[in-house]
Amino acid sequence: MIRIATGLFFAVALGTPATLLGSASILSAQTVTSDAPAPMIVLDPAAEELRTLLTAEGAMAEPMLTVYAQHDFAPIWTEAKAAALFDALEDAASHGLPAARYGLSDLLALDLAAPSHATREMALSRAFLAYARDINSGIIEPGSADGDIEISPRRPDPAALLEGLAETPDAASYLAALAPSHPDYAALLGEKQRLEALIEGGAWGETVPEGSTLRLDDDSPRVAALRARLGRMDGRDYGTSSLFDAELETALRAFQLRHGLNDDGVAGPATLAAVNASAEARLRQVVVNLERQRWLNYERGARHIYVNQADFSVRVIDHGKTSFFSRTVIGQTRHKTQEFNDTMTHMVVNPTWHVPYSIATEEMLPKLQANPNALGSNMQIMTRSGTRINPTLVDFSQFSRGNFPFLIKEAPNPGNALGLVKFMFPNKHNIYLHDTPSKSLFARDVRAYSHGCVRVQKPFELAQVLLAPQVDDPEAAFQRYLAGGRERRVDLEQPVPIYLTYQSAWVDEAGVPQYRGDVYGRDARVFDALTEAGVRLSTVEG
């Protein structure tokens, strides 16, 4: 039997990293004579202790057991790697992470007092894996905060993470690279730092007192308060005048644009609520949206579609730049649009609207009970076998939501509820993007009026952008499809990833911080879940 004396010691704050004598491995073997039994490799006591502890942990420690076994249970945590981890954990709160859960103070104490490298290795590796998972793909499971968030973060493989740490010669860079590399994440981190500095300096001063709408030429102490608060927000001196002048109107219009409000230059209830939002409330938004960025920390596609429900908008992103933008209408608060990712595969030109059962029974059946002809000639009432019926021959009073036996569909026409085109990414919610004859709703600030699908203000332009990679003249091609009058499916030769998100805080391509309201209350629920997980803001209300 071959005994191995390794001389390995883990020494953070106690000494220098030990080296292996004559080998890069914790194991070595002596040469034996040819008539001796086959050699047995035996772990030294420290390595054996680590193997025993990891094995006793069972499935919870399986990734660590796998990696340490590949390294013959030698210590992974050199002094330099441990120091890099301590620095990362000390900085965790700057990312909006729950720093306390990684136990930095306990790790430091353990390094000074632990009796063997086995317990140190396990404690450091556990802290590293928890931190790496959180910063790379998010602290919470999205659906645990809100059931309508159906995003599944792509969790990194723990064994691969630990193996990468074991092999890297530059632990600090390795740890830094775990955070999302998307520019949106870095920009939000900068906004978080800006807000924290503002709060420490008193933030934006006094709020504007409640009262009536303020507009050009008004003269009121409330105007002076609005002027002062906008000046603090913009980092500019707008003076102290109580007169609502053109300069203040210009500043207010810019503020409204940054907050998704119609830029009418009038300080009505919605605008004043946004003006009076505290810097800490904005900081909470940023922390929530950093978490949302971590949920999407993977390659989103050179071309992808980004539906931001909080912004009531849709964008097509090509190589990191917006190539198409449109206002949207999303689901009402009782018919919320879910958050999920999918792939857009085709569009349908001149679509038939197959009325969902809930709409047919809750909204259309009462009308039919009052008047069998209430739905008009474009609406077709069908049996489930596909036979069209004459509504005047049916006694609709005998039916309810529980026993309504018919299907209702609307034939293609300009007044069709889906408009003239819909964009399909087949999913269990039957959600899609579509045109609409109800154009007036796009002029509103808050646009949550649908039954869950996403209405697009500029659907023809979206269709042309999507067709551009596959036809020479996308506008002419789309017009030909429309002119046919019949329902037509048009497949996308290159299906496009689509992300239905809820990003209420971001920094735009011009470097301007953007904030939106919490129409579905999801930000509040996500922040509560983050707080429960241990996230803390280091600032006070500002």
Residue 279: which of 531, 529, 515 has the closest Cα?
A: 515
User: What does pTM read for this prediction?
Assistant: 0.87
Q: Give the amino acid at 6.
A: T
Mean residue pLDDT of the chain comes to: 90
Q: Residue 115's pLDDT is what? A: 59
Buried b (16+ CB within 10 A) or exposed e, 313-352: bbbbbbeeeeebebbbbbbeeeebbbbbbbebeebbbbbb
Give 60's pLDDT tier (boundaries 50, 70, 90).
confident
* Beta-strand relationship, 353-354 and 407-410: antiparallel
How would residue 8 be classed by pLDDT, with cut points 50, 70 and 90? Answer: very low
Per-residue pLDDT at 221 exceeds 70: yes
* Dist. CA 215–CA 218, nearest whole Å: 6
Task: Name every residue whose Cβ is closer than 8 Å to that of residue 129 and which is 6 or more positions away in sequence.
Answer: 63, 64, 158, 161, 162
**Domain locations in the chain as residue ranges:** 1-179, 300-351+417-529, 353-411
Residues 458-468 have a mean pLDDT of 98
Question: 77 by DSSP, 3-state: which?
Answer: coil
Is the pLDDT at 113 greater than 90? The verdict is no
* Residue 245 · residue 267 · CB < 8 Å: no
138-193: per-residue pLDDT in tens? 999 999 999 999 999 999 999 999 999 999 999 999 999 999 999 999 999 999 99
Q: Residue 32 in contact with residue 103, Cβ under 8 Å?
A: no
Higher pLDDT, 540 or 296: 296
pLDDT digits (tens, 9 = 90+) for 349-385: 999 999 999 999 999 999 999 999 999 888 999 999 9
Percent of the chain with pLDDT strictly greater than 90: 85
- Please name every residue paired with 410 in a beta bridge, in sequence order, or none if there are none: 353, 379
- How confident is the model over 444-448, as a mean pLDDT? 96
- Determine contact, residues 520/257, Cβ cutoff 8 Å: no
Percent of all residues in the chain with a pLDDT value above 70, rounded to a whole number: 91
Cβ–Cβ under 8 Å, residues 132 and 44 = no
Confidence band (pLDDT; 50, 70, 90) for 327? very high
Q: What is the CATH number of domain 300-351+417-529?
A: 2.40.440.10
pLDDT of residue 112: 52
What does the pLDDT look like over 41-53, one tens digit per residue? Answer: 567 888 899 999 9
Q: What angle do CA 466, 469, 470 make, to 5 degrees?
A: 95
Residue 341 three-state SS: strand
Q: Which two tokens stand for residue 476?
A: 């002419």
pLDDT at 97 over 90: yes
Give start and end residues of each alpha helix (H) in 329-387.
357-359, 365-370
Confidence (pLDDT) at 16: 28
pLDDT for 378 equals: 87
Check pLDDT > 90 for residue 90: yes
Q: Name the residue among 233, 63, 70 with its Cα closest to residue 155.
A: 63
3-state secondary structure 272-325: HHHHHCCHHHHHHHHHHHHHHHHHCCCCCCCEEEEEECCCCEEEEEECCEEEEE
Residue 4 is predicted with a pLDDT of: 28
Distance CA(227)–CA(245), nearest Å, equals 10
